[in-house]
């Protein structure tokens, strides 16, 4: 978790809001640092996290998590983290008996119409436990990322339906949060991705958009982050609809600064 | 981030974060007889309460001026990612809702839970069944959102369903169709192409497009009435925390740059070592000058007038020893 980003979002692990859908989006740059931030943020906030990781392996997230102060291995062992490693379990789909449901079952079916098995997996993973022990604070679903589902053959509407059901269960029924990453290829001809991105944008409470600099790559400024609040939680007279900051990713942290105010320039 | 204040602009076909404007208005939910509102939550907000009630009385005030013909019409509200329309929809519902019936299709619209409670035909079937169940009389249906339906159904099917709803309700009510059913739908304009948007616009008698500038939201309302010219109006509004609508008169005040009357006008051409001014004769000569490449009427006449003139150009050619001119085949010496 990056403390500077917490300050920008005006939140801390103790005061994390509930029932929110946060959309992470990246354009011309890699926005995965936001995924690592929210993963460590919610683990530190004592939430039960279901992480659908379709892009990288468990050890990758674990190594980065250790730099940010959380151990995914420990979290998984004590039940705080339910980790679906897409890269490994996608191979299991083909070696399992067909009758057994698998969250990534759509890889096997020629005409998979929806992502219901994946939704069932999420629902099962974030089921509240009634064994009397100190329960986790709230369930959180983290998806990295949704655009790869389009590449794997699902339609944008199927992915929107999956998120819709997850919202109904995780956000509304169980007062949890969802964080999902979608890539913005910037290609206006990629209609499916645009439908997915815009459809999710309209359902989100908070949109974090990491963009590459318009002028190209830079050693000291890695990109620009736009923060858009769609429904302000506290209606104040001065609404912060949108903020834009530039950032530089370092080894264990990310520093944010106003546009043009990079320390390398001043 | 700003948008045109009151000026209609072209509908964007690419998704963009900039706010852009186009007209549209929410609906009047019927005249003085008072509507029963039925809301269908498609992909709605998680915090909507479940309320059910019966039609009780006359409708509440709506922020639209009384010149609006309250003929039950469908009205899509178009919003964008930056200027969201759901709060306006809730405010309009709250303004006029006296008997609110809420249909929750949010939790399981596709019947994945297989609980057996789902109505046949999916959300569209539920919509039609709901219309059959309501009492005859003025009814307004609020849909959150039309985009949800449009992404999953063919546009033609949705348009036909909307028209059929209005016809069925009119047949049951016995009154003219226009005053019976009013549909208020929320549409996200980045999600759909110009075709479906245009089709729904043509069905609608009023459209509201939301945009804004400088933190202030605006609604551009385009109303089409039969046999009258469409009217375009812009309202600046904000939705208060208790879902009431607050209308402002005009765009937010901007400081106009006032020219300072005390500063004397400085002539930049004075105090120079060379003369930049023109005398009266020089100015007249300059004004009467015809530019060489300007196609004036005199030049046009000169070109159109045929005949030899001493100004015609001629080519003088002196062949040298190596030229082999054949007047019948002037290009014979070319090696092609």
The string of DSSP letters for B307-322 reads: S--TT---------TT
A198 contact residues in B (CB cutoff 8 A): 15, 81, 188, 190-191
Cα(B335)–Cα(B162) distance, integer angstroms: 76
Cα(A193)–Cα(B202) distance, integer angstroms: 28
Distance from CA of A225 to the nearest CA of B (A): 14
A231 contact residues in B (CB cutoff 8 A): 84, 87
Contact flag A231-B87 (C-beta cutoff 8 Å): yes
The candidate with the shortest Cα–Cα distance to B80, out of B223, B212, B239, is: B212
Phi (first) and psi of residue A182, to 5 degrees: -130, 135
Token code pair at residue A109 = 């079916």
Q: Which of A172, A195, A226 sits opposite B46 (nearest CB)?
A: A172
Locate the chain B residue with the closest alpha carbon to A174. B46
Contact flag B46-A171 (C-beta cutoff 8 Å): yes
Mutate which: A124, A163, A165, A202, vs B, most B CBs within 10 A: A202
CATH of the domain at A95: 3.40.50.300
Within-domain flag for A45: yes
The boundaries of the domain holding residue A73 are 3-258
Q: What is the 3-state secondary structure (H, E, C) of B10-24?
A: CCCCCCCCCCCCCCC
For tokens 């509004």, the residue is B237
Within-domain flag for A194: yes
Within-domain flag for A266: no
Within-domain flag for A263: no
Element (H, E) at A117: helix A116-125
- Taking any CB pair shorter than 8 Å as contact, residues of chain B touching chain A are 1, 14-15, 17, 43, 46-47, 79, 81-82, 84, 87, 106-110, 112, 145, 147, 151-152, 188, 190-191, 215, 240-241
Most distant CA pair in chain A: distance in Å? 63
Q: Please, which residues bridge with residue B100 across strands?
A: B37
Contact flag A19-B47 (C-beta cutoff 8 Å): yes
Strands B216-223 and B206-213: antiparallel
Q: Are the beta carbons of A188 and A213 closer than 8 angstroms?
A: no
Sequence-distant (≥ 6) Cβ neighbours of residue A2 within 8 angstroms = A33, A37, A68, A253, A254
Q: Which of B145, B152, B191 sits opposite A198 (nearest CB)?
A: B191
Contact flag B240-A235 (C-beta cutoff 8 Å): yes
pLDDT at A237: 39
Q: What's the total number of domains in chain A?
A: 1
Element (H, E) at B130: helix B122-133
Q: Are the beta carbons of B188 and A202 closer than 8 angstroms?
A: yes
Distance from CA of A198 to the nearest CA of B (A): 6
Cα(B162)–Cα(B154) distance, integer angstroms: 13
Mutate which: B1, B191, B195, B217, vs A, most A CBs within 10 A: B191
Q: How many helices (H) and strands (E) would you count in chain B?
A: 7, 9
What burial class does residue B331 get, using C-beta atoms within 10 Å of its C-beta: 0-12 exposed, 13-18 middle, 19+ buried? exposed
What pTM does this model have?
Answer: 0.71
pLDDT at B29: 33
- Taking any CB pair shorter than 8 Å as contact, residues of chain A touching chain B are 19, 114, 116, 119, 157, 160-161, 164-165, 167-168, 171-173, 188, 194-195, 197-199, 201-203, 207, 226, 228, 230-231, 235, 239, 241-242
Within-domain flag for A131: yes
Contact flag A230-B81 (C-beta cutoff 8 Å): yes
Within-domain flag for A80: yes
Q: Which of A161, A167, A226 sits opposite B110 (nearest CB)?
A: A161
Q: Which of A19, A167, A198 sits opposite B81 (nearest CB)?
A: A198
Within-domain flag for A265: no
Q: Measured between alpha carbons, how far is residue A220 from residues A64, A250, A251, B189 in Å?
A: 21, 10, 13, 37
Contact flag A207-B81 (C-beta cutoff 8 Å): yes
In the predicted model, residues of chain A with pLDDT beneath 70 are 131-134, 231-240
Token code pair at residue B186 = 């929320």
- Quickly list DSSP for B275-317: -----HHHHHHHHTPPPTT---HHHHHHHH--S--TT------
Q: Are the beta carbons of B146 and B184 closer than 8 angstroms?
A: no
What burial class does residue B208 get, using C-beta atoms within 10 Å of its C-beta: 0-12 exposed, 13-18 middle, 19+ buried? buried
Torsion of CA A136, A141, A144, A146, to 10 degrees: 180
Query: Across the 336 residues of chain B, what is the mean pLDDT of every consecutive 10-residue run?
Result: 39 35 33 42 39 29 28 62 76 72 76 70 75 70 84 88 78 59 83 88 86 77 84 83 75 50 65 84 88 77 69 79 74 73
Strands B139-144 and B74-79: unpaired
pLDDT at B102: 73
Contact flag A160-B215 (C-beta cutoff 8 Å): no
pLDDT at A131: 65
Most distant CA pair in chain B: distance in Å? 111
Cα(A149)–Cα(A193) distance, integer angstroms: 10
- Quickly list DSSP for A75-113: HHHTTSEEEEEHHHHHHHHHHS-TTS--TTGGGT-TT--
């Amino acid at each position: 978790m990056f403390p500077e980003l917490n300050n920008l979002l005006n939140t801390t692990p103790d005061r994390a809001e509930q029932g929110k859908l946060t959309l992470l989006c990246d354009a011309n740059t890699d926005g995965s640092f936001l995924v690592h931030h929210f993963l460590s943020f919610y683990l530190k906030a004592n939430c039960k996290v279901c992480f659908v990781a379709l892009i990288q392996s468990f050890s990758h997230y674990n190594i980065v998590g250790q730099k940010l102060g959380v151990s995914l291995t420990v979290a998984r062992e004590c039940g705080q983290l339910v980790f679906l490693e897409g890269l490994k379990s996608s191979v299991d789909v083909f070696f399992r008996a067909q009758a057994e449901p698998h969250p990534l079952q759509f890889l096997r079916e020629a005409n998979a119409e929806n992502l219901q098995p994946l939704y069932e997996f999420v629902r099962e993973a974030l089921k509240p436990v009634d064994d009397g022990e100190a329960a986790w604070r709230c369930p959180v679903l983290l998806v990295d990322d949704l655009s790869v589902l389009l590449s794997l053959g699902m339609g944008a509407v199927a992915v929107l339906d999956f998120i819709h059901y997850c919202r109904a269960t995780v956000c509304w029924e169980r007062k949890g949060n969802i964080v999902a990453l979608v890539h913005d290829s910037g290609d206006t001809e990629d209609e499916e991705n645009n439908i997915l991105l815009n459809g999710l944008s309209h359902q989100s409470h908070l949109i974090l958009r990491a963009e590459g600099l318009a002028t190209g790559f830079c050693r000291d400024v890695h990109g620009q982050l736009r923060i858009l609040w769609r429904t302000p939680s506290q209606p104040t007279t001065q609404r912060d609809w949108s903020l834009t900051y530039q950032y530089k990713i370092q080894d264990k942290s990310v520093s944010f600064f106003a546009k043009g105010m990079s320390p390398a320039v001043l | 981030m700003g948008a045109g204040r009151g000026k209609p602009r072209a509908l964007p076909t690419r998704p963009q974060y900039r706010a852009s404007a186009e007209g549209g208005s929410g609906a009047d939910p019927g005249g003085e007889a008072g509507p029963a509102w039925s809301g269908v939550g498609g992909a709605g907000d998680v915090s909507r309460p479940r309320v059910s009630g019966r039609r009780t009385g006359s409708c509440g005030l709506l922020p639209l001026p009384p010149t609006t013909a309250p003929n039950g019409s469908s009205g899509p509200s178009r919003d964008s990612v930056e200027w969201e329309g759901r709060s306006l929809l809730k405010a309009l519902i709250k303004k006029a809702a006296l008997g609110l019936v809420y249909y929750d299709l949010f939790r399981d619209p596709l019947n994945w839970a297989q609980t057996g409670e789902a109505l046949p035909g999916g959300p569209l079937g539920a919509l039609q069944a709901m219309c059959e169940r309501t009492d005859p009389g003025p009814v307004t249906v609020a849909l959150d959102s039309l985009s949800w339906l449009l992404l999953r159904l063919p546009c033609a099917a949705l348009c036909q369903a909307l028209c059929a709803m209005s016809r069925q309700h009119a047949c049951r009510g016995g009154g003219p169709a226009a005053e019976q059913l009013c549909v208020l739908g929320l549409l996200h304009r980045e999600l759909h192409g110009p075709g479906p948007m245009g089709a729904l616009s043509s069905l609608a008698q009023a459209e509201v497009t939301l945009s804004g500038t400088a933190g202030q939201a605006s609604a551009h309302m385009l109303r089409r009435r039969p046999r009258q010219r469409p009217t375009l109006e812009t309202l600046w509004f904000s939705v208060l925390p208790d879902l009431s609508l607050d209308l402002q008169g005009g765009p937010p005040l901007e400081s106009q740059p006032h020219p300072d009357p005390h500063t004397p006008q400085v002539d930049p051409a004075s105090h120079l070592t060379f003369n930049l001014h023109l005398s009266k004769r020089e100015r007249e000569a300059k004004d009467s000058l015809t530019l060489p490449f300007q196609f004036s009427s005199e030049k046009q006449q000169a070109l159109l007038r045929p005949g030899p003139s001493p100004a015609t150009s001629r080519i003088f050619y002196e062949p040298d020893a190596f030229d082999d001119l054949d007047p019948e085949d002037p290009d014979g010496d070319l090696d092609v």
